[in-house]
Structure 1
Amino acid sequence: MSSFVIEGGHQLKGHITPQGAKNEALQILCAVLMTPEKVEIKNIPDIRDVNKLIDILENLGVKIQKLGKGHFSFKSDELNLGYLQSEQFKKEGSGLRGSIMIVGPLLGRFGKGYIPRPGGDKIGRRRLDTHFSGFIKLGAEFRYNREERFYGVETEKGLTGTDMLLEEASVTGTANIIMAAVFAKGKTQIYNAACEPYIQQLCKMLNKMGAKISGIGSNLLHITGVENLKGCTHKVLPDMVEIGSWIGLAAMTQSEITIKDVSWENLGIIPATFKKLGIDIQKKGDDILIPKHDNGYEVASFIDGSIMNISDAPWPGFTPDLLSVMLVVATQARGSVLIHQKMFESRLFFVDKLIDMGAKIILCDPHRATVIGHDFKSQLKATTMTSPDIRAGISLLIAALSAKGTSTIHNIEQIDRGYENIDERLQAIGAKIHRYE
């Protein structure tokens, strides 16, 4: 187990470039299984979850070449489908939630796909029903080995297009169903589809490969099935969650930081939501400048004067992956705010660490926390803590960088799952952070 030791209370300065988007990369990497031709992907982040998926693809028989930093080629012309039934795959696949998205491509192209119950963050129950309900509607037969916790879908006659209304706008579920439906005979209509930029990127990439997908960017997708796909070149977007993390870091440490090449048009309401906490966000071309907040930042109120409520929602709503960061940033705001985590029931349980650091937080229930900001009149106090998941981990790291004294964060492998070389990148802008094994 590795740990970070952080000397907090220092202002940072400089520029930082966001990594490629983790959530897009996991979808795009699974899509390379849909063609025997070469697929080149650029801006792949060098993080644990993505590297685990690349290892799974390689063990499945995908020919992989590293062409440069974050630049790989993939060729899936000689796959070893027997690996899917191996004990090795049952172990490797269960350690990564993103592995579920190999099922759709394999089902569509080969008529069968298998997956052990995938792991990931411990942030509450995350059902797979949307994925498998979609496959069943396309004509696949579903089976589940309860003893081994192993899922499978198969079809002998191939998939057939159909109309479906998703029970929830699941991002990974939508991606998985899209990839299967691309090979289904006839037309498929998916209503209540997730429509975030990473799903849009997946659809655009598949269309470059020869798929026929329309309605991109909306929650109603139309897919006309094709028999095969060709290769292509694709570039992953910058990670919007990391961009939001750096906005929060700059505000909490009262630092001037420039975030480079953020792809403003794909940030949705993220900048506007941070502005609700009073954070000054300046657009400089395709960069974001966060100036020093020497006078702090003040939480806005609703037009009727009631307390600000910040909650998550499916895109184009505010991403749940940034609510933990928003909560931490609110601890030093001027004013109060209610953070409402609607989509996952355990993501707010990390606030006890912040309370130990001196934050004024009332945990109302598993979904809601009220934060009364210090307005920088009282610094958070350093402490020792353990990262429970990726997003809570980065939030605790931001808190530690703003706190008085030296903090230790254990289990930083959770942070490494989503943030590339984070200690080195933060050191480059003046952070006092060191990694210890």
Structure 2
Amino acid sequence: MGTFQITGGQRLSGSITPQGAKNEALQIICATLLTAERVTISNIPDIVDVNKLIDILADLGVKVQRKGHGIYSFKADDLNLDYLESDEFKVKGASLRGSIMIVGPLLARFGKGYIPKPGGDKIGRRRLDTHFEGFQKLGAKFRYKPGESFYGVEAKKLKGAYMLLDEASVTGTANIVMAAALAEGTTTIYNAACEPYLQQLCKMLNRMGAKISGIGSNLLSIEGVSELGGCDHRVLPDMIEIGSWIGMAAMTSSELRIKDVSFDDLGVIPTVFSKMGIKVQRENDDLIVPQQDHYEIETFIDGSILTIADAPWPGFTPDLLSIALVVATQARGSVLIHQKMFESRLFFVDKLIDMGAQIILCDPHRATVIGMDKATPLKATTMTSPDIRAGISLLIAALSAEGTSTIHNIEQIDRGYENIDERLRAIGAQIVRVN
């Protein structure tokens, strides 16, 4: 198990470029299964979760070629579908939650798709019902073997249908859209997710020959086509990394330039950090966070405590709530963090309390943070990363703390952040990886 040793209290400076978006890459890579033609994708992040998915596709028979850093081509013209029922696939698929999104493309193109119960972050209940209810509405039959924790769907031919999703699931919407792209007739999806990464998937599918309208809204219409072709696609920068760097600059009183952020795809992220008192300046497509020794959290106009809550897009992404929470520990003022979508994501706050933060965990979904205005810095400690986003939050806390902190189980951080220790050292962080 790997470990980071971080000596905090150092001001950072310089520029950092966000990696390609993990959540988009997982969707886009799965979509290459929809065609026998070559699909080339650039700006793919070199992170554990994405590399696992690429390995699964290669084992399935996809011809994968690495063209350069972050650039891959995929050609799914000769697949071995028997691999889906192999013991090897059951192990690999179960280790990666994103593997669920191979089911829709395989079902649409080959009439069947299987997946072991996937893993991922232990952040609460993350059910798969939306995916399989959507497939069933398209005409697929659901297969489940409880003893094996193995799911499957089969259909001779999918047929378009109207569906109202029970939740605006991003991966669920992506999976259903990919399946519907090759279905017979028109599929209408209401309460669809509309995140920029889902928009990117729909735009890519349209370049491949799909007929999807309503992109960017929660009402999608997919007119099925008989086949799709190849295309080139570039993945957006990762908005979660961008938010992480904004928070890191504020916590360490540093000036940072975050390059090529695709500002128009950031939604309310800059606004939420601004409400926490963090100055964010736009220069062309870069974000500049100037050095601030203090930042003050706003209140609502009636003087009540500010609440920051997650919500489906265009609301604030749940992946950045842990960043907002740790940043609030050194702000002037207080804030209520309300994690609505996952019930186990706030349990890492005990580590921050050990470091001296003033946090009241109200229940599994809410935490009140009383900022210390940097009058009392956090103290270094030893901790373990429970998931990707909590892991980066603890790392940010360690960078601002007095002394040397140790973070174990950094494989969780590596799942979502590419070469993070090297990139942070380049802007002045004192961080060492110990294997």
TM-score interval (norm. to shorter): over 0.9
Normalising by the residue count of structure 2, what TM-score does the alignment of the two structures yield? 1.00
Q: State the Cα distance separating 1:76 from its structure 2 match.
A: 0.2
Give the structure 2 partner of residue 201 of structure 1: 200
Paired residue type of 1:306: S
Q: State the Cα distance separating 1:301 from its structure 2 match.
A: 0.5
Residue 109 of structure 2 is aligned to residue 109 of structure 1: yes
Q: State the Cα distance separating 1:266 from its structure 2 match.
A: 0.2
1:178-236 superposed Cα distances (whole Å, 9 cap, x missing partner)? 00000110000000000000000000000000000000000000000001000000000
Provide the C-alpha distance between the structure 1 equivalents of 2:12 and 2:222, rounded to a whole number of angstroms.
48
Give the structure 2 partner of residue 75 of structure 1: 75
Q: What percentage of aligned pairs have identical amino acids?
A: 75
Provide the C-alpha distance between the structure 1 equivalents of 2:191 and 2:185, rounded to a whole number of angstroms.
20
Provide the C-alpha distance between the structure 1 equivalents of 2:125 and 2:314, rounded to a whole number of angstroms.
23
Q: State the Cα distance separating 1:385 from its structure 2 match.
A: 0.1
Q: State the Cα distance separating 1:40 from its structure 2 match.
A: 0.2
Normalising by the residue count of structure 1, what TM-score does the alignment of the two structures yield? 0.99
Q: State the Cα distance separating 1:49 from its structure 2 match.
A: 0.2
Give the structure 2 partner of residue 394 of structure 1: 392
Q: State the Cα distance separating 1:87 from its structure 2 match.
A: 0.1
Matched residue of 1:430: which SS?
coil
Give the structure 2 partner of residue 253 of structure 1: 252
Structure 1 stretches of 4+ moved >3 Å: none
**Mapping 1:143-162, distance limit 5 Å:** 143-156=143-156, 158-162=157-161
Q: State the Cα distance separating 1:33 from its structure 2 match.
A: 0.3
1:138-169 superposed Cα distances (whole Å, 9 cap, x missing partner)? 0000010100000000012x000000000000
Residue 64 of structure 2 is aligned to residue 55 of structure 1: no
Paired residue type of 2:370: I
1:256-284 superposed Cα distances (whole Å, 9 cap, x missing partner)? 00000000000000000001100000001
* Number of corresponding residues: 435
Q: State the Cα distance separating 1:435 from its structure 2 match.
A: 0.2
Paired residue type of 2:191: N
Provide the C-alpha distance between the structure 2 equivalents of 1:350 and 1:16, rounded to a whole number of angstroms.
27
1:319-346 superposed Cα distances (whole Å, 9 cap, x missing partner)? 0000000000000000000000000000
**Mapping 1:253-272, distance limit 5 Å:** 253-272=252-271
1:70-103 superposed Cα distances (whole Å, 9 cap, x missing partner)? 0010000000100000000000000000000000
Provide the C-alpha distance between the structure 2 equivalents of 1:225 and 1:249, rounded to a whole number of angstroms.
45
**Mapping 1:3-402, distance limit 5 Å:** 3-156=3-156, 158-294=157-293, 296-402=294-400
Provide the C-alpha distance between the structure 2 equivalents of 1:213 and 1:246, rounded to a whole number of angstroms.
34
Matched residue of 1:72: which SS?
strand
Matched residue of 2:282: which SS?
strand
Matched residue of 1:153: which SS?
strand
Give the structure 1 partner of residue 404 of structure 2: 406
Provide the C-alpha distance between the structure 1 equivalents of 2:148 and 2:9, rounded to a whole number of angstroms.
49
1:31-67 superposed Cα distances (whole Å, 9 cap, x missing partner)? 0000000000000000000000000000000001110
Q: State the Cα distance separating 1:362 from its structure 2 match.
A: 0.1
Matched residue of 2:72: which SS?
strand
Provide the C-alpha distance between the structure 1 equivalents of 2:204 and 2:102, rounded to a whole number of angstroms.
16
1:278-314 superposed Cα distances (whole Å, 9 cap, x missing partner)? 00000011000000002x0000000111000000000
Matched residue of 1:131: which SS?
helix
Matched residue of 1:234: which SS?
strand
Matched residue of 1:370: which SS?
strand
Give the structure 1 partner of residue 429 of structure 2: 431
Matched residue of 1:185: which SS?
coil
Q: State the Cα distance separating 1:358 from its structure 2 match.
A: 0.1
Provide the C-alpha distance between the structure 2 equivalents of 1:329 and 1:155, rounded to a whole number of angstroms.
49
Q: State the Cα distance separating 1:424 from its structure 2 match.
A: 0.0
Matched residue of 1:257: which SS?
strand
Provide the C-alpha distance between the structure 1 equivalents of 2:185 and 2:402, rounded to a whole number of angstroms.
62
Structure 1 unaligned regions, length at least 5: none
Provide the C-alpha distance between the structure 2 equivalents of 1:263 and 1:395, rounded to a whole number of angstroms.
23
Q: State the Cα distance separating 1:128 from its structure 2 match.
A: 0.2
Structure 2 unaligned regions, length at least 5: none
Matched residue of 2:232: which SS?
strand
Provide the C-alpha distance between the structure 1 equivalents of 2:143 and 2:61, rounded to a whole number of angstroms.
25
Provide the C-alpha distance between the structure 1 equivalents of 2:120 and 2:73, rounded to a whole number of angstroms.
26
Provide the C-alpha distance between the structure 1 equivalents of 2:428 and 2:297, rounded to a whole number of angstroms.
28
Provide the C-alpha distance between the structure 1 equivalents of 2:357 and 2:43, rounded to a whole number of angstroms.
37
Provide the C-alpha distance between the structure 1 equivalents of 2:45 and 2:54, rounded to a whole number of angstroms.
11
Provide the C-alpha distance between the structure 2 equivalents of 1:183 and 1:314, rounded to a whole number of angstroms.
27
Matched residue of 2:193: which SS?
coil
Paired residue type of 2:277: G
Matched residue of 1:188: which SS?
strand
CA RMSD of aligned residues (A): 0.3
